[in-house]
Every structure is written in structure tokens, then in C-alpha cells.
Amino acid sequence: MGVVSVVKLHTWSPGHWPTYFTRTTPLRSGTLNLAGINWSQYGGREGIWRLLYILNSYGIKGTIQLNGKSAELYPDVVKAAVSAGHAIVAHGYYQNELLLYMSPEEEKATIRKTLDAIERVAGARPRGWATPIYGFGERTLDFLIEEKIQWTHGALDTSLPYRTPTARGSIYLFPWSDFVDNRVLRGDPSGLFNAQKDAFDYLRANESLGIVHVGLHAHVGGRPVMAAQVDKLLTYFKGFDDVWFTYPDEIVGWLEEAKIDDLAGAATQGFAKAIAG
């Protein structure tokens, strides 16, 4: 089975901030949330470095998923991640810009602007894409294919990747984590460890093709109270010698070499055969 570790580095446009925050007292409508803006900047200033350190300490190659503006603001992060062998994935230009609200011309321009910004810093164009907050539209896949993107985190109907055809060609759709760090920060941070460990144990015992997606946000999972759980989780995973620590770029290469278009379908067939006895 596989383990995929993804770290997101988000940047919101000026005057915007995350829709979630550790403050529990709501502000009056129309108030500029200076604390929320400040909170969102933790990822680039500190959190991403802590998570990169943890991944590197275990020799794990992960995926750094970042906005185009994040690459421009934090070029040293991108260069360090590339140098360490982590894959770089494009994640829109600003985190609060949603492709599904754009005209076709605006959407195409935003995708290209994002890829260009990251390529200038990373030295190579990303092979993968993740639309902010799953805000893709009917044309998004075609526009990504036009830009030579091979895969995207746009699958909500599967736990394993599959290739889908479009008018412009085909592209692999990847799932992402169903349980990420911002779900537990305000409650019990150990929930991240417990949920991912249980999923790992189940898949390892029952589904050899299964993939555990460890999803982290640098401004959330990079804080010590959450990073401690990440470290604990990776320590547990590393205790098994039959685990493939991988990332979507590598998985796509394997699928193409093996001529597999639908890993999810292969897993489903396995369920059907087991049920039929």
C-alpha cells in the first residue's frame, strides 16, 4: 500500500483571509480581519519549514502544493523543497480565487499565470494541479490538458486515481485526504493521528492497492501542536517495511508504465470477486 504526504502553502489575495480560524468569537460583518490575515501567513514564515524538516528527517519525498503567489513570496521554500526531492504542484494563483466563477479567458489566464510563476522559481513546470477548494468548472480539465498537466486533485468519487477523457485528451484524477489538519486544530489535534492510523491499519490489512493521503496545511499542520501529531504518525508508518512512500507524479509514472487507466476500478473488481467467493 502507499502513503502520500501533501503539504499546502496558501496565500490569500490582499484583504482576504481563510474562512476558518482559531478565533471562536465572530467579528461584525465587513470588519477587516487583521488577525486572520496574520494567522494565514504562518505557513510561509514558519510552518512549511517545520513540515519539510519532518519529512526530510524520515527520508520521505512528499508533495508541496502551493499557490502561484506563494512561490513568488517564498522562493527559498520552493528551492529548498525541490532540492530535497519533493514534487511541486500548482494550486491556483491566490487561494481565494475560484476558477468556477471566472470567464473562460480568465480561467485559462489564471492557470497559465500560476504555472509560469511556479516554474520561474522551481526551475520546472509542475506536472500536477489542485484547484483551490475544489472550485473547478466544466472547462477546467480541458484547460489543464492544454497546459500539459498530467494529473489533478479533482476526484471526489474515488479513493484511488483513474484517467478520464475530455475533448482535449485525457488526464488522471486523484483523490485527496478526507481528513486533514484543519478539522482538528480547534478540538483535539490527536484526532489527526488516530484517524490516519486507523485508515492505514485497515488498508494495510485489507486493500493492498490502498493509499493513505496525509493532507497538511503549512499554516495549520506546521504549528507545533499539530506537527507533533504528524511526526508521531510518520514514526508509526515507518515501522512497516512494506509501505510505499510516494507522491502523485510517481504514481502516474507507474500507472502509465503499467498501462493502468483505472486503479479504482481494479480495486472494485477485487471487492466483487471477494464477495462472490
For 88-129, what is each residue's pLDDT tens digit?
999 999 999 999 999 999 999 999 999 999 999 999 999 999
pLDDT at 157 over 80: yes
DSSP 213: E
DSSP 156: S
E strands, 35-168, where? 63-66, 87-90, 128-129, 151-152, 162-166
CB 247 within 8 A of CB 172: no
Average pLDDT over residues 147-151: 97
Rounded distance between C-alpha atoms, residue 198 and residue 215, angstroms: 15
For 44-79, what is each residue's pLDDT tens digit?
999 999 999 999 999 999 999 999 999 999 999 999
Q: Write down the pTM of the prediction.
A: 0.93
Confidence bin at 190 (pLDDT 50/70/90):
very high
CB 115 within 8 A of CB 90: yes
Q: Which fold has domain 2-22+31-276?
A: TIM Barrel (3.20.20)
Which residue, 173, 165, 123, is CA-closest to 142? Answer: 165
Confidence bin at 268 (pLDDT 50/70/90):
confident
For 13-37, what is each residue's pLDDT tens digit?
999 999 888 888 888 988 999 999 9
Q: What are the residue boundaries of the structural domains of the chain, listed by start?
A: 2-22+31-276
Report the run of H or E that residue 71 belongs to, with start and end.
helix 68-73
CB 175 within 8 A of CB 156: yes
